[in-house]
Every structure is written in C-alpha cells, then in structure tokens.
Structure 1
Amino acid sequence: MIKRELYMSRIRPFIGTDLIKVMTGIRRCGKSVMLKLIQQELTETGISSTQFISINFEDMCYSHLLSAQALNDEIVKRAKEIGGKVYLFFDEIQEVKDWEKCINSLRVSLDCDIYITGSNAKLLSGELATYLGGRYVEFVLYPFSFGEFIELYRSVKPDASNQQCFQEYLLAGGMPYLANLHYADAPSKQYLHDLFNSVQLKDIVKRNKIRDIDLLERIIAYVIANVGTTFSATSLAKFLKNEHRTVAPETILNYIKYCCDAYLFYQVKREDLQGKQVLSSNEKYYIADHGIREAIFGGNMREINLTLENIVYLELLRRGYEVTVGRMGDKEIDFVCSRRGEKLYVQVTYLLASEETVSHEFGVYDAIRDNFPKYVVSLDEFDMSRNGINHRNIRDFLLSDKWK
C-alpha cells in the first residue's frame, strides 16, 4: 500500500479536529485506500481500532443504511456501545439519501472525528453548504502520479528503468488497481474499460437522470478524442449535426459539466494575459486518467503531444496549482499555474526536433516580462535551456520535488 504522502501531508493537520474531512475524485482513484492510510496513522498514534466505525456504501451489506435516519440511528447506537471518541469513515457517501443531514447531526451529537469520500464534485454544493458551511475541508484525489506509478510498477518489475516505467505509464495511466493485474495489457484495458462504463453509468447517467445515453456517449467520445484541444459547444453541435444529431450547445455544455462533476474530465479556461481576464469560450478539457483514454479510444502514442500535456496538467493539479491556458496576442501558453502567490508557466511538446519547433516553444514566452519560472517540457534527453527559460525532460520534471 503506497503511503501517498502528498495527500497525507495535507490531511494530517486536520486529523482529530471537528472539521469533516471530505475526499473526492474519480471512482477507483484510491479514496478507500486513503481512509485505510488515515486509520493506520491513527493506530500508530495509540488510538485503538475498536474506536473506528467504517462503512462502504457500495457494499450491499449496508443497503439498509442508505437513508439519513437509518444511518444516524445505527451510528449513534454503535457509538454508545463503543464509548468515548469514535472515528467515522464513510466511503461513497453520496449513495445515502440526505446524507448531509446525518453527517451534520453526528458532528453535533457525538464526540467524533469524521472522514467521508465521494465520486462527485457536487457533493459539496447546494444543501451541504447550508448544513456544513465552514465545517469541512475538501481534498481532491487523483490517479497515481508518475512518481507513485514507478513505486508500484517496480514492485512488479523491479529492474525497470525510469524510461521503461514512463513508456508503460504513457499507455497504462495511473489507476491504482492495475498493479494487481501486474500491468498485463489485455486485463488492464478490460479493467479500465469497465471502470469507464461504471463512471458513465453510475456517476453520470444515473446521478443526472440522463435519458439520451446515445448523445452522452457521442459527446464523451468527442471530448476524449479532442483532449487538450480547444473547442466550443457550438463547434461540437455542428459536428453532431453532421452525424444527424441536432442538439443545442446548452445541452452539450450540461452533459460535459456532468462529466466534470464525476471527475472524468477537467475543464481548463483560457486567460488573456494582457487583459488579465478569463475568456468565456473555447475551453480545453483533459481526462482524469490518460490510461482510460488509451483503453477507450487508443492513440496515446499516435497523439503523444496531447498525452504528455494531459500528464503534466494532472501533475500540476496534484501539486495544488490553479491552471489556465494563457493567451498572449496570437501566441498560446499551454499552462499558466498559480498557487498562493507563486506563478509558473509550462509549455509541453513531444520533441524539440527542429529549430522551428525550438523557436516556437521558447518563443511563446517572448512577451512575458515577469520573473516567474518558465518551462519547456519535452521527451528530449539533452538540456536545451536558453534565455532564462528552463528546459526539462518530462520524466525529470514530473519527479522533481520542487520546480524553480
């Protein structure tokens, strides 16, 4: 079990407090394991596991607890039997109807420390803001980073070099369970395909009561095929019209939002760096795990530039950056990253194979006069840094503890 210290270091300061710890992210990205890691950490500080109450609401054993009242009654009863402070771990809490009422009631009525997970970004919106406003902290979890992937991949293939590990990562992605399949190609693709179907059915179709599943599938296929490419809802509507499906751009935007709420896609807005404003159209989308894209659509190696972009984008999110696509005149910077007053610019390309490519990738920074770090990231093995702009091999960039 990988420690996932990146997340533990953020959660640790809140352990034992009365704030509700909420972990969200795409289905099967490791949220259940995080609950186990927290339990492990608690036992290491001397807390007995008899104080833990842990429920996974996807387990049919707990189907009788899928209402707020039933869950509340059960937990209050078990807490009395245990006595003293209890530690509550609720996995996939969104399966419980009106769960926020129950959680708030437990927070008020018991001496407890509460941890919950869910697979939907809307978990913390609407009603919940009323019940728990200011009383929770949220942590978004992502599939394995390249660094985490190496650790697990080498438990299967100990002699693999960083280069070999990255070659596998490009195709397999970072879903934790693949290690149990020893990263075998056919079983891994089957697993990722089934995972994708589960996200689509449970977290998108069922949750949002979508009737036109064919339309949803077409929209998802289009976004997956165009990961990292700027497009608008209007252009997608025209594409669908050519396929004899007439649909309003507003419907398309709603369907894509449902996918983002399920953490299947991430929307990246475009920012005018001269006017310092966020542009309202032609966003980009990236997929939560590029391995899913390979299993569903293929083409990760054929369109390796987009795959590398996707990998770098997710790494920026993992490290807590807010990310936009930057526009400066007629030039576009892949990622403009902000975090607590820090700023970072990242341009991603496959190879700096010609002087024209070098000129383009480094040239996007010509008009930016600030002193924040600027990177060009590629698969090249040689350092081509110039004019104060850092060039990094993508493997080294992803494994670096700190970007300067």
Structure 2
Amino acid sequence: MIKREMYMQRIRPFINTDLVKVMTGIRRCGKSVMLELIKEELKSIGINASQFLSFNFEDMRNSHLCTAQALHDEVIHRTQNFSEKIYLFFDEIQEVEHWEKCINSFRLELDCDIYITGSNAKLLSGELATVLGGRYVEFTIYPFSFSEFRELYLSVFPDSSAPAIFQKYLLLGGMPYLANLRFMEEPARQYLIDIYHSVVLTDVVKRNKIRDVDMLSRIVSYVIGNIGSTFSSSSIVKFMKNEQRKVSPETVLNYINYCTNAYLFYQVKRQNLQGKQILATNEKYYMADHGLREAVFGGNMKDINLILENIVFMELLRRGYSVTVGKSGTKEIDFVCQIQNQKLYIQVTYLLASEATIQREFGVYDSIRDNFPKYVVSMDEIDMSQNGIKHKNIREFLLMDHWI
C-alpha cells in the first residue's frame, strides 16, 4: 500500500479535531485507501482499533443503512456503550439519502472524529456546506502521480527502466488498482472502461436524472477527444448539428458541469496576462486520469502532446496550485500556476525537434517580464535551457520535489 504522504501531511493537522474530514475525487482514485492510511496513523498515535466504526455504502450489506435515520440509529446503537472517543469512517457517503443531517447529528451527540469520502463535488457546494457551514475541511484525492505509479510499478517489476515505466504510465494512467492486475494492458483497459461507465452512469446520469444518455455520451466523447484544446459550448452545438442532433448550449454546459462535479473533467479558465482578467470564453478541459481516455477513446500516443499536458496539469492540482491558461497577445502559455504568493509558468510539448519548435515554445515567454520560474517541459533527454528559461525532461520534472 502506497503511503500517499502528500495527502497525509495535509490531513494530519486535522486529526482529532471536531472538523469533519471530507475526501472527494473520482471513483477508484484511492479514497478508501486514504481511510485505511488514516486508521494506521491513528493506531500509530495510540488509538485502539476497537474505537473505529466503518461503513462502505457501495457494499450491499449496508444498503439498509442508506437513509439518514437508519444510519443514525445504527451508529447510536453500536456506540451506546462506548466510553472513549469514537472514530467514524463513511465511504461513498453520497449513497445515503440526506446523509449530511446524520453526520451533523453525530458531531453534536457523540465524542467523535469523522472522516467521509464521496465521488461528487456537490457534496461540498450543496448538501454539506448547507448543513455543516464551516465545520468541515476538504481534501481532493487524485489518481496516482507518476512518482506514486513508479513506486508501485517497481515493487512489481524492480528491474524496469525509467523510460519504460513512463511509457506504461502514458497508456494506463494512475488508477491504484492497476497494480493488482500487474499492469497488464488488456485487463487494465477493461477495468478502466468499467470505471468510466460507473462514473458516467452512476455519478452523472443517475445523480442528475439525465434522460438523453446518448446525447451525454456524445458530448463526453467530444470533450475527451478535445482534451487540452480550447472550445466553446457553441462549437459542440455546431458539431452535434453536423451529427444530425439538436442540443442547446445550456444543455451542453450542464452536462459538462455534471461531469466536472463527478471529477471526470477539470476546467481550466484562460487569463489575459496583460489585463490580468479571467476570460469568459473558450476554456480548456483535462481528464482526471489519462488512462481512462486511452481505455475508452484511444489515441494517447497519437495525441501525445495533449496527454503530456494532461499529466502536468493533474500534477499541478495534486501539489495545490491554482492553474489558468495564460494569454499574452497572440501567444498562449499552457499553464500559469499560483500557490500562495508564488507563481510558475509551464509550457509543455512532445519534442523540441526543430529550431522552429524551440523558438515557439521558448518564445511564448518573450513578453513575460517578471522573475518567476519559467519552464519548458518535453520528452527530450538533452537539457536545452536558455535565457533563464528552464528546460526539463517530463519524467525528471514530475519527480522534482520543488519547482520554485
């Protein structure tokens, strides 16, 4: 089991506080494992496992507890003779109707420390925020980074070279369970397709009561095919018209929004670096896991430039950066990244194969006069840094502890 210390460092200060700890993220990204890691952490500081009470609401044995009242009654019944602090763990809590009411009730009734996971961003923006106000703290959990993937891959195939591991990561992505399949491509592909259908059918269709599933599938396919490219809802409407299907821009935006709530996609807005304002049109979208894209859509190696962008973008989110696409005149910088008062610029490309490519990728920074770090990231093995702009091989870049 990978320790996922990056997340534990963030969670640790909130252990044994009265804030509800909420872990969200796409299905199968490792949220359940985070609950187990927290239990291990608690045991290491002297908490007895008999004080833990855990429920996984994807387990049919807990289906009778999927209402707030039933869950409340069960927990109160099972803890009535407890004299010590209780540690409550609820996995995929969104399966429980009005779950936020019983979570809030536990806070008031019991001496407890609460940890919950869920696969929908509405957990926070809607139900949880309404009932709990500021009494929770959220941690978004992502699929494995390249560093985590590499650690697990080497535990299975210890003699693998760095380029071979990265090649595997490009195709399979970072879903944690892949190690149980020994990273075999066909079983991995089937597993990833099943995750995709589970996310779309359960977290998007069922939750949002979508009737036109075919239209949703077409819109999702369009976004997947155009990962890392700017497009607008009107461009999707136009595409659907060519497919003899009629859809409104509002429906397109709603469907994409449902997918971002389910953590399938992440939206990145564009920023005018001269005027400092956020631009309202033509956002970009990236996928939570590029392995899902390869499994359901294919073409990761054909669209390698966009996949490398996707990988870098998700690594930025893991490390806590807020990210926009930078527009400077007619040029566009892939990622303008901020964390606290620090800034970072990143340009991602496949290979610096010609002088024209080198000029294009390094030249986007010509009008940026500040002294924040500027990177060009590619698959090249030779360092081509110039004019204070750092060039990094993408494997090396992803494994660096600090970029600033």
TM-score class, shorter? over 0.9
> Which residue matches 1:307?
307
Question: SS at 1:286's partner residue?
Answer: strand
> Which residue matches 1:114?
114
Render the CA deviation track for 1:215-272: whole Å, top value 9, x for unaligned.
0000011001110011000011000000000111110000000000000000000011
* Structure 2 residue identity aligned to 1:293: R
1:77: how far off?
A: 1.6
> Which residue matches 2:363?
363
Distance 1:356 1:76 in 2: 68
> Which residue matches 1:185?
185
1:155: how far off?
A: 1.4
1:83: how far off?
A: 2.5
* Structure 1 residue identity aligned to 2:271: E
Distance 1:280 1:123 in 2: 26
Which runs of structure 2 are paired with 1:184-333 in the superposition (5 Å)?
A: 184-333=184-333
* Count of aligned pairs between the two proteins: 404
Which runs of structure 2 are paired with 1:17-28 in the superposition (5 Å)?
A: 17-28=17-28
1:80: how far off?
A: 1.5
Distance 2:388 2:253 in 1: 40
1:128: how far off?
A: 2.2
Question: SS at 1:191's partner residue?
Answer: helix
1:127: how far off?
A: 3.5
> Which residue matches 2:13?
13
1:116: how far off?
A: 0.1
Distance 1:125 1:193 in 2: 28
Render the CA deviation track for 1:116-158: whole Å, top value 9, x for unaligned.
0000011012242221111100000000000000011111111
Distance 1:47 1:346 in 2: 44
Distance 1:126 1:213 in 2: 24
1:78: how far off?
A: 1.3
Q: Which runs of 4+ in 1 moved over 4 A?
A: none
Question: SS at 2:102's partner residue?
Answer: helix
Which runs of structure 2 are paired with 1:345-360 in the superposition (5 Å)?
A: 345-360=345-360
1:206: how far off?
A: 0.2
Contact preservation (8 Å) 1:50, 1:82? no
Distance 1:130 1:287 in 2: 29
Question: SS at 1:386's partner residue?
Answer: coil
* Structure 2 residue identity aligned to 1:383: D
Question: SS at 2:383's partner residue?
Answer: coil
Which runs of structure 2 are paired with 1:44-193 in the superposition (5 Å)?
A: 44-193=44-193
Question: SS at 1:73's partner residue?
Answer: helix
> Which residue matches 1:390?
390
Distance 2:62 2:42 in 1: 24
Question: SS at 2:80's partner residue?
Answer: helix
1:82: how far off?
A: 2.9
Question: SS at 1:271's partner residue?
Answer: strand
5+ residue gaps in structure 2? none
5+ residue gaps in structure 1? none
Render the CA deviation track for 1:301-350: whole Å, top value 9, x for unaligned.
11100010000000000000000000000000000001111100000000
Distance 2:231 2:125 in 1: 28
Distance 1:42 1:56 in 2: 19
> Which residue matches 2:43?
43
* Structure 2 residue identity aligned to 1:213: V
Distance 1:73 1:121 in 2: 27
1:379: how far off?
A: 0.4
Distance 1:127 1:252 in 2: 24
Superposition RMSD in Å = 0.7
Distance 1:4 1:309 in 2: 23
Cα distance change of structure 1 residues 43 and 292 upon mapping to structure 2, 3 Å threshold: same
* Structure 1 residue identity aligned to 2:202: K
Render the CA deviation track for 1:362-388: whole Å, top value 9, x for unaligned.
000000111110000000001111111
Question: SS at 1:259's partner residue?
Answer: helix
1:355: how far off?
A: 0.5
* Structure 2 residue identity aligned to 1:174: G
Distance 2:361 2:288 in 1: 25
> Which residue matches 1:374?
374
Question: SS at 1:126's partner residue?
Answer: helix
Render the CA deviation track for 1:151-190: whole Å, top value 9, x for unaligned.
1111111101111110100001000000000011110000
TM-score, structure 1 normalization: 0.99
Question: SS at 1:247's partner residue?
Answer: coil
1:114: how far off?
A: 0.2
Distance 2:352 2:401 in 1: 24
* Structure 2 residue identity aligned to 1:305: N
Question: SS at 2:113's partner residue?
Answer: strand
1:73: how far off?
A: 1.2
Distance 1:68 1:342 in 2: 43
